[in-house]
Structure 1
Amino acid sequence: MADVLEDKRTATRFRILAEIADRQPAVSQGEIADAVGVTSQAVSEYTRGLVEDGLVEKEGRSRYRVTKEGVDWLLQSATDVRRFADHVTDDILGNVGEDAAIARTDIEAGTTVSLSLEDGLLHATPNDEGPATGIATTDAESGEDVGVTEFEGIIDLEPGRVTVYQVPPVRSGGSRTVDGGSLAAACEDAPVLAATGVEAVVALRSAGIEPDTTFAPGEVAAEAAERGLNVVIVATADSVGRVTDALRDVGVAYEVANLD
């Protein structure tokens, strides 16, 4: 379980710090008490503890501001909560819920199907021979979406690789310093191609390549890699840290490389 949810006091501390961050610098302890469901006295005691621990600084009467250490703690705690929520949604509820797959052939409701991932999407075949199986809940023709429940087994899946190529920022020459041939070769046959930073997007377009996405490349790459897809990210050097942080947060392996 996420550390912040292990006991009521830590969970309340997390919620109060989040409310302070949302309302700073003018903080009404009464409003926070109503939002969190505790007394104003409890908010005062928690706030005093947050100040003592260096997570909040007091700027005056009813004026507080979350410190850098407080922001870091909030971010880490929020990440832990998100991971736990994903575990509940994907691993626990997913086992008793219903998901959709693409039917490889015609399927009748009630049929046992084997499940596999192809191009990052779940596919169903009417047999019980795969390492992962389920029961079709709807009729479907080949190529249609079919409901599947009562999942058993584990889909045999090798995580995809993520490679991040750096493009210099404009102050260091930007896209003009990138060899289009090398860039095209690096991106060739990449199932998923993401870019971040103007210089990276321009370099790709100059090479005649349009990225699949220019938004949240780290998060996109992490999800794609977890579904077995290889990903190439072309990033302006200034943006590489944000990309790799997103990959590290979910434990996805990656390589940062330079274009030849």
Structure 2
Amino acid sequence: MKAFKKRGALTHFQILSEISKQNPHLKQKDLAETLGITIQAVSENIKTLIEQEYITSKDGRSPYKITQKGIDKVKRDAISLRKYSDSVLETMNHYKTVWPAIAKEDLKKDEIVGLYMDSGVLYAHKKEEDATGVVLGDAAKGCDVALSNLTGLIDMTIGEAVVINLPTIKEGGSDKVNLELIKSVYEQGTTTGKKIDRVAIAGTVSRAVANMLNLPVTIEYAAPQATANAARKGLNVLALCVGDMTKAFTRELEEQKIKFDIIDGGK
């Protein structure tokens, strides 16, 4: 949107647009209230517009009149703004109406398919499900497929998280960790008995503990956010974190309304 790249260009467009309505009683106070800026800012912008010959005025005060040069500028800027708005709306409509999934089998264009979640991934297949969509293009099994006209509800249970707080290196690190406890939690699952789907780590001590127990680490970077996102998609996460890092996990999980438990992993 090149027309509005310069500082104050959008404000100039708005002022010219208001003046072009040919309101003979339009005052700087009215412009300030309409545009949500100060009267001083309006005054400075009007002075610039007069100097650039986009409007005319006696002594810089109302009534203001837009010149032909000003009218041409408003038209150009309005077209530029409309094109930009149209491109944004087109993009937003695309995001709203087209959804990606993984094809569970070979799918053909225009087929109506059933949708379901498994391990945090949306799948499409030819079997009947509560949620359906229409295939936009041929897709082979295992590939991504574009869908439209999604209807119904996708059955998805929110996952849980178990956050285990580990001693810092100053407190003894992995030497002071209750490895049997962590192994037991991983094998037995969450406090409600749900199987652990993902293991998250935050901190070097957590990495060492995961290595010692041969845990399959799948979440390491931006672990608090990733843990919450995984749980939102129905996955149950075991998170190992060191010292105060626990706070980031609890804050994120609370904000996302994810059920979680905190366990002291020290001996």
Normalised to the residue count of structure 2, the TM-score between the two structures is 0.59
Equivalent in 248, 252, 257 of residue 251 of structure 1: 257
For the aligned residues, what is the CA RMSD?
A: 2.6
Q: Displacement of 1:38 after TM fit? A: 4.6
Q: 1:41–1:180: structure 2 CA closer, same or farther, 3 Å change rule?
A: farther
- Greater Rg over alpha carbons, structure: 2
Rounded Cα–Cα distance in structure 2 between residues aligned with 1:40 and 1:254: 53
Task: Answer whether contact 1:247 1:254 (CA < 8 A) is retained.
Answer: yes
Equivalent residues of 2:174, 2:208 under 8 A apart: yes
The question of whether the paired residues in 1 share the 8 Å contact of 2:166 and 2:205 is answered with: yes
Asked whether the equivalents of residues 199 and 215 of structure 2 are also in contact (C-alpha less than 8 Å), the reply is: no
Deviations along 1:118-158, one digit per CA (max 9) or x if unpaired, are 1111100124x311111011111222221111111111111
One-letter identity of the residue aligned with 1:159: I
| Consecutive unaligned residues in structure 2, runs of 5 or more | 1-35, 42-91, 188-194
Q: Is the 8 A contact 1:107 1:141 kept in 2?
A: yes
Quote the Cα distance in structure 2 between the aligned partners of 1:40 and 1:249. Answer: 41
* Cα separation, 2, equivalents of 1:41 and 1:155: 55
Select the residue among 231, 235, 241 that pairs with 1:229.
235
What amino acid does structure 1 have at the position aligned with 2:183?
A
Name the structure 2 match of 1:121: 121
1:6 alignment partner in structure 2: none
Moved more, 240-249 or 179-188: 179-188
- After TM superposition, the structure 1 = structure 2 runs for residues 21-32 of structure 1, keeping only pairs within 5 Å, are none
Matches of 1:251 and 1:230 in 2, distance apart? 14
What runs of 5+ residues in structure 1 fail to find an aligned partner? 1-36, 43-91
Partner of 2:124: helix, strand, or coil? strand
Distance 1:202 1:41 in 2: 62
Provide, for residues 213-241 of structure 1, a one-character-per-residue CA deviation record: whole Å limited to 9, x for no partner: 22221111111111111111001122101
8 Å contact kept, 1:96–1:151: no
- State the percentage of identical aligned residues: 26
Output the CA distance in 2 between the equivalents of 1:215 and 1:96: 29
Residues 176, 109 of structure 1: alpha-carbon distance in 2 compared, 3 angstrom cutoff = same
Residues of 2 paired with 1:160 and 1:108: CA distance? 33
> Are the aligned partners of 2:219 and 2:227 in contact in 1 as well (CA < 8 Å)?
no
